[in-house]
Structure 1
Amino acid sequence: MKNKLTLFLLVQLVLAGTVRADEYPSFTIPKGLLKYANSVIRKQETILEIHSEKKVTIREHFVLTVLNEAGSKYAYWSETYDKMSSIDKIEGNLYNAMGQKIRSLKKSEITDLPVQGAGQMIVDDRFKYHSFEHREYPYTIEYISETTNNQTMFLPGWSPIRGRGMAVENSSFVIISDPVYTYRTKTWNISGKGISTSNGKKKTEKWEVTQLSAVPSEYGAPPIHEVAPYISLGASTFKLGNFKGDMSTWEDFGKFIKTLIDGQDELPEEEKQKVKAIAAACKTDREKVDKLYRYMQSKTHYVGIQLGVGGWVPFPAKYVASKGYGDCKALSNYMVAVLKEVGIKSYYVLIRAGKDERDIPVDFPSSPFNHVICAVPLGKDTTWLECTSQTTAPGYMGSFTGNRHALLITENGGVLVKTPKYDKTANQYHSRIEAILNKEGQLSITANNRYKAMLGDDLHHFVHSNSNEEKQKVLQRSLDLPQYTIRGFDYKETPGDIPVIDEQLSITADHYAQLTGKRLFIVPNVLNKWEHKLTADTNRLFDIILNEEKIEIDTVRISLPEGYKIERDLKVNQLNTPFGSYEVSTQIQNNTVLYIRRLELSKGRFPAKMYNELLLFYEKIYNADRAKLVFVKEEA
């Protein structure tokens, strides 16, 4: 592919002598930028002008050459707006490989839609979007836009490299502000400070990068912000609607949030009596928390309500009590109010939620949060409550909000705290399988599988989001068996700070074992085979980050037909590596196979030079999980 692209660009260079080239011909891209690149930013100019605490203008000029289909995912323009922001200008052009304009953007081609999300019902956020949808590579797009934000709580950052496979010829970021206005910056992978100038009326700070190579896609590579230039921007003092705040410190920012939630935690008299009655029947504060949390789950459901400043101000607890719904802010505020009514102190907590979301920069106070939860200190422990879920166990955060920093809003302002971490002592899977193999090779399986902590997160969603009929359909197509029928299934959940899900499956797997002449071949690992296979890479650039940590223990007992003896057992497999360990063993006695497998994965950061060791570890597990026992029919 690379050779074809190089040849194409050479042909274009020859043709350039006879065909007029415009400003962005693709053949002028420096050869060194083509390595790993699917697209190249030719020019990116972002000018952020802070007029006051209530008005910010962002002007951007963005030119991108798309080299192949993989690069087209960045060939678009989009912007959100609401009652506190506006899109004032958008222009666009499409160029061919020679840099000649094909056509310009028409206003009628811009998509303008409301922002939608899971559970959203009432929002005023909208977004505009456009893509030329061109498919003759290489081609170049150009967008020139201007937007206005009527608040300074959120200031846009600068990320010259927007994703992997993107190179940069030139990108700059300029901040223009009043000389006395203060803001803060945090930089990653940028040496030195921006260039500052002032004419007395305005001060200007500028950063610029040139000739940045693309970041390749590598398994387990650090997130893009760790390896590419990035600037976060935060106001010191700011305004959001009629509210004024300060985020110079986390404590100050917490004081601002407190002004938004003060007075919102009053319950109706009837509701007060209900929650007091529930608490009166409990013996401990933890029991009260659990029972009142379950009460909240039973009478409320999540609905997104985000209108203007309302995206940060919760609806009052009285509103939730009467309506039975609210967003994360409203429901968490309601939970705080309920616990307050029975004499239990709890806190409103801001957090950055999402299974794959990175943690907030703890040394840079800002507003990177997208979710609110509730924290209840009880002695030396804290019980965490996810108030938007009607099924999550009290005290459990899981992969959505676990193991990250959050901002707890106290009477004195914000305090950074850490949510629970779930390591391999918590994340465990235990499986016990009893199976009977008949003489036709059909395997009848009874499986009892136990999932703990984050290993049960997806299963919890599966159990609560599907009818029995839908569960049957999903199970019938999702198991790693060649041909099988689900005869029955059942799920039982045990709530707690470390929740447990017990799964029972009854399965018939036709032709599971291979019968060839006198021999019988069978894979003793019935349901839990390793799936990861990596590609060899001798030019690995970045460290390896492994985030999964867990322990799996499988015990499988298979009864064989009469008259077979072992001809080839499994090789002894015992692997101990920095990435984890793996061990399997078999015992064969009285026509019964006992297979025991133990896999332990460790979380950590490892140097790039260890990549092929990881590849070998995964490969050995993959092969061992598919290894076959061979039996031979005994002579009569």
Structure 2
Amino acid sequence: MISRNYIFSALLLMMALRSYAADYPVSSIPKPLVKYANAVIRLREHEVEIHSINKVTIREHYVITILNEAGDNHAYWTEHYSKLNSVDRIEGTLYDAAGNKIRTLKKSEIKDEPVSSQMTMVDDNRVKYHNFFHREYPYTVEYQSTRTESQTMFLPNWSPVPSRGVSVEKSSFTLISDIDYQYRVKTYNYPSKSIQSTLRNKRLEKWEVMQVPAAPAEYASPPIHEIAPYVSFAPTSFRIDDFRGDMSSWKELGKFQYHLNKGMDVLPESDKQKVAEIVRGLNFDEEKVTAIYRYMQEKTHYVGIQLGIGGWRPFPAEMVSSKGYGDCKALSNYMVALLKEAGIKAYYTLIRGGEYERDIPADFPAQVFNHVVCAVPLKNDTIWLECTSQTVPSGYMGKFTGNRNALLITEDGGKLVRTPRYRQSDNLFHSNIMARLDASGNLEMDVMNNYQAECSDDLHGRIHAQSREEQQKYLDKNLDLPHYEIKDFSYKELQNKLPVIEERISLTAANYAQISGKRLFIIPNLLNKWNSKLAIDTARFYDIDLQETRIESDTVTIEVPAGYRAESFPKPLDLQTDFGRYQSAAELNGNIIRYTRRLKLNQGRFPAKSFNDLVRFYDQMYKADRARLVLVKSE
């Protein structure tokens, strides 16, 4: 018979060996999880316990192995806090490739800083963060944290696959609440049902994924939130600060916001008089809206204000008027008040801004908004106003807030509506270039470019954010010419509902054309060349998601020295595909080369099997845009 002392000694030995055993050796990661991966989540456990309508505890255990430099950004631990939530505990450990502990996190290493930026100046939010800054690959970090929320308006969501290039061994999310507490759940790409149980009068609901390979970084593949598991949570009744609300429907959520805003639209007498002065003599509401919007833009500027409930409640219109600044909530509320004074009904409107943000599902009411705009429904159309911008024209939303769901806050509650979608025929780029080539191959050109709607968004941001010197530097680096010098440039904005920017550039390009004996070689497409080249892929995983839609048209006229005739010209090209259409042609009349180009890019979702057709389309455009024509000097 084995003695009790022997058994006890064996247990002690096993415990001692366990204490020296490696915890997270990289060698134990299944090979399928390494493919396409820059990092592997070994374990991630979220536990969210809802104690009451104004107290939630969130516990997290996070272990991730960083395989290479591209995965370093996943090794951070970061958490925001304010008067509405606190960070109660954080522990961290660093491991080497074999899974041996290198060191643990010291409390003094945790950074604690205010959340601030050039655009956000009044803010009680702070952030705690840490990074071991280890650079011997692979390595593993482990963090355990606890935080407390004193509100239930926002419940954490679960996104087990944070981005492409990250695989998952095991990730879980557990929600603990009283049995009668009501919350709602919406799952995306989650293959199974949750696991539900009860423990000591508590309800437990758990979601879990295991062995999820990394999604490869494929050109134009759908955003990660469309292909990876994601679970969204929303309460029915909630509380934030001293305010209670209900979000079982969009109508009820809107009622809550309307209650928050009540009484915040009182204007000072000076503004009332100014509004009367502005609209005097204007006959149409659209004219009045545009004029009042311009007044608001000239009078105010954006400053982020995130103080407690002020992060979700607008500051009074009187304050905006006297201070001359506000955040998106305050400025939109002020605009609504100004229009109300003019007898025009406008609505404070919640929206989720961002060019590639997940759209808000119509069937799942939740507070997932991060921005506010102003909507003005008129008889024939709705005018949308971006109140944080001093430069965007009345009625234009652009890529940041266009084509998505938004919540109008009305007296009767919330109403879900759709913001404008800019079509291919709206998004236009037109270029007209007049150029002169001398006998040495040097080129002078005058460029007139017109950018409309979404084609103008990036340029609009650049010309209003950069000084003239910075704009010059940008042009000096980014025109598609081997050698050139900018002589002059200018911009003019046309404040239409669909904004247009006129760009004029005068420049010289030394030795643009090659001269060899009697022959002159020149690429007639001077500036607007297609630059994307793709490789054939016979193992494409995901559909092709093409987001951009626009029409480009180019006309180039080049005056060449007299005495040349055409020897070799590229044939006119007309490529018609599901992805778009490309046309180009060049001709010589006397000593004038005339080149035309037209490109229509289609937006849409295309099957993965057609990817190599897209590769060929891009390749043909790339080559056509660089095709040379040859002129030979007449005898």
Q: Structure 2-normalised TM-score?
A: 0.96
Amino acid in structure 2 at the alignment position of 1:622: Y
Q: Which residue of 2 aligns with 1:164?
A: 164
Residue in 2 aligned with 1:468? 468
Counterpart of 1:336?
336
Q: 1:93 matched to which residue of 2?
A: 93
CA distance in structure 2 between the partners assigned to 1:622 and 1:616 by the alignment:
10
| 3-state SS of paired residue (1:525) | coil
Q: Equivalent residue of 1:354, what SS? A: coil
The residue type paired with residue 597 of structure 1 is: R
Distance 1:111 1:520 in 2: 64
Contact 1:435 1:557 (C-alpha < 8 Å) held by counterparts: yes
Q: Would you say the 8 A contact 1:54–1:150 is kept in 2? A: yes
Structure 2 partner of 1:593: 593
Structure 2 partner of 1:5:
none
Aligned match of 2:4: none
CA distance in 1, matches of 2:33, 2:174: 24
For the 8 Å contact 1:514–1:521, the answer to whether it is kept is yes
Aligned to 1:50: 50
Matches within 5 A, 1:29-428: 29-199=29-199, 201-428=201-428
1:11 maps to which residue?
Answer: none
On the 8 A contact 2:225/2:358 being kept in 1, the answer is no
Distance 1:492 1:28 in 2: 61
Alpha-carbon deviations, 1:85-136, whole Å to 9, x = none?
0000000001111111000001111111111234111001111111111111
Segment drifting more, 601-610 vs 111-120: 111-120
Match of 1:438 in 2: 438
- Matched position secondary structure for 2:32: helix
Question: What percentage of residue pairs aligned between the two structures are identical?
Answer: 57
Q: Is the 8 A contact 1:584 1:595 kept in 2?
A: yes
Tell me which residue corresponds to 1:580. 580
Aligned residue in 2 for 1:552? 552
CA–CA separation in structure 2 for the residues paired with 1:497 and 1:202: 55
Contact 2:241/2:309 (8 A) holds in 1: yes
SS of residue in 2 equivalent to 1:567: strand
C-alpha distance in 2, partners of 1:380/1:589?
A: 49
Task: Determine the C-alpha separation between the residues in 2 that align with 1:295 and 1:81.
Answer: 37
Task: Specify the alignment match of 1:10 in structure 2.
Answer: none
Q: Deviations over 1:313-365 (max 9, x none)?
A: 10101111111111010000000000100100000000111223232122211
Q: Which amino acid letter does the alignment assign opposite residue 154 of structure 1?
A: F
Specify the SS of the correspondent of 1:364: coil
**1:428-463 per-position Cα deviation (integer Å, ceiling 9, x unaligned):** 011111111000111110111111101011111222
Q: C-alpha displacement at 1:477, in angstroms?
A: 2.0
Q: Summarize deviations over 1:195-218 as a string: whole Å, max 9, x none.
A: 111135211001111111111111
- Whole-angstrom distance in 1 between the partners of 2:97 and 2:160: 23
Query: Does the CA contact (< 8 Å) of 2:442 and 2:510 recur in 1?
Result: yes
Counterparts in 2 of 1:279 and 1:84: CA distance versus 1, 3 Å:
same
Q: Any conservation in 2 of the 1:21–1:98 contact (CA below 8 Å)?
A: no
Separation (CA, whole Å) in 2 of partners of 1:202 and 1:395: 50
- Give 1:66 deviation, angstroms: 1.4
- Structure 2 CA distance, aligned partners of 1:31 and 1:451? 49
- Which residue type is aligned with residue 316 of structure 1? P
Mapped partners of 1:221, 1:113: distance in 2: 37
Q: Which amino acid aligns with 2:609?
A: K
Structure 2 Cα separation of the partners of residues 441 and 482 of structure 1: 13
Whether 1:450 aligns to 2:454 is no
- Root mean square deviation of aligned Cα: 1.3
- Contact kept? 2:580, 2:599, Cα under 8 Å: yes
Unaligned 5+ runs, structure 2:
1-16
Q: Which residue of 1 aligns with 2:10?
A: none
Give, in whole Å, the separation in 2 of the partners of 1:130 and 1:480: 42
Task: Using the TM superposition, give the Cα deviation of residue 191 of structure 1 relative to its aligned residue in structure 2, in angstroms.
Answer: 2.3
- Counterpart contact for 1:68–1:137, Cα < 8 Å: yes
Stretch of structure 1 that moved more, 559-568 or 50-59:
559-568
Separation of aligned partners in 2, 1:169 and 1:552: 46
Gaps of 5+ in 1: 1-16
C-alpha distance in structure 2 between counterparts of 1:395 and 1:225, whole Å: 30
Q: How many residue pairs are counted as aligned between the two chains?
A: 618
Letter in 2 for 1:192: S
CA contact (8 A) 2:327 2:388 kept: yes
Local SS of the residue matching 2:221: coil
Question: Alignment partner of 1:233: what SS?
Answer: strand
The CA deviation at 1:474 is 2.1
Q: Which moved more, 1:30-39 or 1:466-475?
A: 466-475
How far is the alpha carbon of 1:36 from its aligned partner?
Answer: 1.3
CA–CA distance in 2 between the matches of 1:212 and 1:474? 43
Task: Name the amino acid aligned to 2:435.
Answer: A
Equivalent residue of 2:23, what SS? coil
CA distance in 2 between partners of 1:496 and 1:232 (Å): 39
CA distance in 1, matches of 2:140, 2:507: 55
CA offsets, 1:601-622, max 9 Å, x none?
A: 0000001111111111111111
Q: Match for residue 520 of structure 1?
A: 520
Give 1:9's aligned residue: none
* Alpha-carbon distance between aligned partners in 2 of 1:285 and 1:61, rounded to the nearest angstrom: 56
**Residue 486 (structure 1) aligned with residue 486 (structure 2):** yes
SS in 1 for 2:310: helix
Q: CA deviation at 1:468?
A: 2.8
- Partner amino acid for 1:31? K
What is the Cα deviation at residue 510 of structure 1? Answer: 0.8
Cα displacement (A) at 1:20? 5.8
Contact 1:179 1:200 in 2 (8 A): no
Distance 1:77 1:467, change over 3 A: closer
SS in 1 for 2:357: coil
Q: Deviations over 1:130-182 (max 9, x none)?
A: 11111112211100000100001111011111111111111111110001101
Distance 1:408 1:119 in 2: 25
Which is further off, 46-55 or 469-478? 469-478
8 A Cα contact 1:533 1:619, kept in partner? yes
**Partner amino acid, structure 1, of 2:127:** F
Q: Secondary structure at the match of 2:489?
A: strand
Structure 1 position 596, deviation (Å): 0.4
Provide the residue aligned with 2:3 in structure 1: none
1:271 CA displacement: 1.3
- Equivalent residue number for residue 568 of structure 2: 568
Deviation at 1:629, TM superposition (A): 0.8
Which stretch of the first structure deviates more once superposed, 567-576 or 601-610? 567-576
Structure 2 residue matching 1:425: 3-state secondary structure: coil
